[in-house]
Amino acid sequence: MHLLQKLLRFRSAKPLVLFFGLVPAACLFWAATQDALGANPAEYLSRATGDWTLRLLCLTLAITPLRQFLGWPELARFRRMLGLLTYFYVLLHLLCYCWLDMGFDWADTVRDITKRPFIWLGFGAFVLLTLLAATSLNRAVRWLGSKRWQRLHQSVYAVAVLSLLHFFWMRAGKNNFTEVWVYAAVIAVLLGWRVRRFLAKT
């Protein structure tokens, strides 16, 4: 058995993953208190929390392919935690928008969401992620039933597409697509693997 696979079985592995998942948020908070976020702190925070949301979403989607490719069932233990970390960062991302951009003016926020396509795409992804986070506990599986729970949680694929389109549309204003193509390639591989697996079963 591979050493890393053995380490993943330790009880302390999950707290360590949680710790490292929260490190970026702690670093952003520290940088904000030290006035070290550059000339536009609001934009920096919004962009950084959005980036970490996408990174953790990709990492969450990668768990199943990696588990099957490596033959490491232990990886499944971390999927829920990574999904909840993804939700934590999208909450921070939304907070940055509502607070730093809109000043908690809810009427203006609703108007802004409905009038700017890239924002309502991102908000749609947030709503779906909220449903997934709210039904992540084992009792939700019992309440919904296994099949309905699985169908609901397959909406994470829609979240990935909406998040990517949100990122693309946002970067289109600055004509800066380098990072967009990187995320697009990663998401295409992760979703393509699932499509291929589905077709192999039919």
User: pLDDT tens, 191-200?
Assistant: 999 999 989 8
Sign of CA dihedral 188, 193, 197, 199: positive
Which residue, among 94, 87, 139, 151, has the nearest Cα to 119 in the 3D structure? 94
Check if the beta carbon of residue 21 is closer than 8 Å to that of residue 54: no
Q: Which residues of the chain have pLDDT under 50?
A: none
169: left (phi over 0), alpha (psi -120 to 50) or beta: alpha
Question: Which pLDDT score is estimated for 63?
Answer: 97
What pTM value is reported for the model? Answer: 0.94
Question: Which pLDDT score is estimated for 1?
Answer: 55
Find the farthest-apart pair of alpha carbons in the chain and give their distance in angstroms, rounded. 57
Check if the beta carbon of residue 156 is closer than 8 Å to that of residue 60: yes
Which residue, among 157, 121, 153, 154, has the nearest Cα to 138 in the 3D structure? 153
Check if the beta carbon of residue 38 is closer than 8 Å to that of residue 44: yes
In the DSSP assignment, the letter for residue 154 is: T
What residue segments make up the domains of the chain, in order of their start? 23-201
Q: What CA–CA distance (Å, rounded) separates 183 from 134?
A: 26
Question: Which pLDDT score is estimated for 173?
Answer: 74
